[in-house]
Amino acid sequence: MPASADELLALLDLEDLDVNLFRGRQPETSLQRVFGGQVAAQALLAAARTTDPAYVVHSLHSYFLLPGDTAVPIIYDVERLRDGRSFGTRRVVARQHGRPIYYLTANFQKAEEGFEHQDVMPEVIPPEEGLDLGAMFRSRGGGSTEEWEREWAALDVRYVGNSRQGLPEDPAHPARARLWIRVNGEMGDDPLQHLAAFTYASDMTLLGSTLVPHGVNISSPGMQVASLDHTVWFHRSFRADEWWLYDQESPSASGGRGLAVARVFTQDGTLGATVAQEGLIRHRD
């Protein structure tokens, strides 16, 4: 997996095969399955490549269908659903071995102004006081430490706390987890690259919040965890290489599934995005 901002940008640089058809490369990785955030980010960029740059993405909705194969590239096939005066819509099919592994639909809008409001950022410790996630894995011991450093070095992650430890009590919301995240290194100023890099990072920790009340985590023995869908609403532009608070909450788990919803705040309190993901959270005894 990319180990720096530059490697992440290289991963997100798609090859143009034909009109509306792209190929995304694979990183060196020991992961068995393609990381969902990579597919989402590459698919978003494929959609954006077919859209007039005056239109900016404001939402994406997607479903994961099959595990991606890390040994071969991914084909992104873009369907132009609509080009309107204010909005444009694209659907992207990600394919490997002739089979769809992921579907994404994204909506783009020409900039305009209107009503403004946003939720207020919760009071949290600054990123500098958060626990470095790599260090946390080290303190836990086990094989996941090296994997963490090899696979996720492109991201800087500081743990703030969860409902069981570190966050103020809120019994009405039993499954919360907060982290500060940024891309590890300077990224340049193209806003689309920041949206894509954020999309990449947004899939990493979200499902973990659905497990908070249950005393297990994604890498606990017997856990089978897989993203089912992934949704991002982009509210205001922000830099993925500067700290953003990932304020994650899981309103519900049932039937082997958990839903997580997250708000993304920059350090100055701007609400940059909202994210939602449902995932399979299965425990095999």
125 three-state secondary structure: coil
Name the residue with tokens 């509210």. Answer: 235
> Is 144 labeled as catalytic in the residue annotation?
no
Cα atoms found within 13 Å of the Cα of residue 261, Cβ hemisphere only: 6
* Options 227, 241, 247, 248, the catalytic residue: 227
203 is catalytic: yes
Smallest distance, other proteins to C-beta of residue 13, A: 27
Strand partners, 216: none
Say which residues have a Cβ less than 8 Å from residue 161's Cβ, sequence separation at least 6: 167, 177, 178
> Least Å distance between CB 149 and other proteins?
29
Q: Which residues are near other proteins by CB under 8 A?
A: 58-59, 61-63, 65-66, 81-82, 86-87, 89, 91, 100, 103, 105, 107, 109, 111-120, 122, 171-175, 210-211, 213-214, 228-229, 231, 233, 235-236, 250-259, 261, 263, 271, 274, 276, 278, 280-283
124: Cβ contacts below 8 Å, ≥ 6 apart? 160, 178, 245
Q: Report yes or no: 84 and 92 within 8 Å, Cβ to Cβ.
A: no
Shortest distance, CB of residue 2 to other proteins, whole angstroms? 28
Our CB check for other proteins shows the closer of 152 and 238 to be 238
DSSP 189: S
Q: Which is nearer to other proteins, 158 or 263 (CB)?
A: 263
Which member of 42, 202, 209, 277 is catalytic? 277
Q: Indicate the residue among 141 and 215 with the shorter CB distance to other proteins.
A: 215
Catalytic residue (choose from 156, 203, 241, 247): 203
- To the nearest 10°, the Cα dihedral for 184, 190, 196, 198? 40
Coil, strand or helix at 122: coil
And the tokens for 150? 């090899």
Shortest distance in whole angstroms from residue 248 CB to other proteins: 13
Q: Is 227 annotated as catalytic?
A: yes
What is the smallest separation between the CB atom of 180 and other proteins, expressed in angstroms?
19
| Catalytic (active-site) positions | 203, 227, 277
